[in-house]
Amino acid sequence: MASMPEPAALTARAVARRELTSAIVAVARRQMAEIGPAQLSVRAVARELNMASSAVYRYFPSRDELLTELLVIIYDELADATEQADARRRRGDFSGRWLTLARTTRSWAVSHPQDYALLYGSPVPGYAAPERTIPPAARVTAVLIRLLRDVHRAGAVPAARERVPRSAHRTLASFRQAVGEDLPDDLALRGLTAWGGLIGALTLELFGHLQNVITDHDTYFDLVARRLSPVL
């Protein structure tokens, strides 16, 4: 028998590398959840892992790469949560799917406020997210986009509440192309407005702007989410 290299034969080194890489990410993530994205520090991560700060550079070439890794992981995590929640709903239950999306996003955000700040708060000073963060970021919005698409295909687009000016068609061109479906302007706008309203509601809540205004945030969010529904 010809000597085949074991397909999953990982050297001890490779195993160790995989393990330490994910340990670094895990620690970075935990620390970031406490101190916020801008304060993420290579040295602090190394300290917690009892290794020299220089050793981290065998795994990530710079702090920014580490941040990028976190960004990707966190986008993916949020996308996983919303995708799975969406999958549990009947496809034709458009209202329910929107509410599920909104609520899932919120409960994720509320339990990971600094992660939310990384994704939707102020940009981290001196850091520019590279290309490879785009696909995971797009996964998050894709859940809403699929919902809009399904509504459209089902012919369940609600009647427009107001006339959409003709200029809207051009303005929404890139969006329609990103969606890959010829959504009516009104539906596209409903979707985008809902998305903005969701982010706005979470931003106000998580960054403390509803402090003396709202006490029962759960109930309040539900009320707002219903109103924002793009399918009603």
Partner DNA sequence: TGTACATCAGTGAACGCGCGTTCACTGATGTAC
Which of 71, 147, 201, 231 touches its own copies by CB under 8 A?
201
Closest-CA residue to 107 (of 229, 225, 230): 225
Give 64: exposed, middle or buried? Use CB within 10 Å, 0-12, 13-18, 19+.
middle
Interaction partner, residue 145 (its own copies, DNA, none; CB < 5-8 Å by kind): none
**How many CB atoms sit inside 10 A of residue 20's CB?**
16
Residue 184 lies near its own copies (rule: CB under 8 A): no
Interaction partner, residue 14 (its own copies, DNA, none; CB < 5-8 Å by kind): DNA
Residue 139 lies near DNA (rule: CB under 7 A): no
**Taking contact as CB under 7 A, which single stretch among the options 14-22, 112-120, 132-140, 212-220 is the one that binds DNA?**
14-22
Closest-CA residue to 42 (of 58, 62, 18): 62
* Site residue total, its own copies (CB under 8 A): 55
First to last CA, the chain: 66
Which of 52, 156, 223, 232 touches DNA by CB under 7 A?
52
Residue 2 lies near DNA (rule: CB under 7 A): no
Residue 22 lies near DNA (rule: CB under 7 A): no
C-alpha 162, offset from chain centre: 31
Tell me which residues in 64-93 interact with DNA (CB under 7 A). Answer: 64
What's the CA gap between 17 and 65, in Å, rounded? Answer: 17
**How many CB atoms sit inside 10 A of residue 112's CB?**
19
Closest-CA residue to 10 (of 1, 19, 22): 19
By beta-carbon proximity to DNA, the closer residue of 14 and 138 is 14
- Helix, strand, coil percentages (3-state) for the chain, rounded to 5, are 70, 0, 30
Residue 62 lies near DNA (rule: CB under 7 A): yes
Interaction partner, residue 62 (its own copies, DNA, none; CB < 5-8 Å by kind): DNA
**CB 172 within 8 Å of CB 189:** yes
Interaction partner, residue 57 (its own copies, DNA, none; CB < 5-8 Å by kind): DNA
What would the two tokens of residue 61 be? 């070439």
**CB under 8 Å to 179, separation ≥6 — which residues?**
145, 148, 149, 188
**Taking contact as CB under 8 A, which single stretch among the options 5-13, 62-70, 84-92, 186-194 is the one that binds its own copies?**
186-194
Where do contacts with DNA occur on this chain (CB under 7 A)?
Answer: 11-14, 16-17, 20, 40-44, 50-55, 57-59, 62-64
Where do contacts with its own copies occur on this chain (CB under 8 A)?
Answer: 35-39, 117, 120-123, 125, 134, 137, 161-162, 164-165, 167-168, 170-175, 178, 189-190, 192-193, 195-201, 203-204, 207-209, 212-216, 219-220, 223-224, 226-228, 232
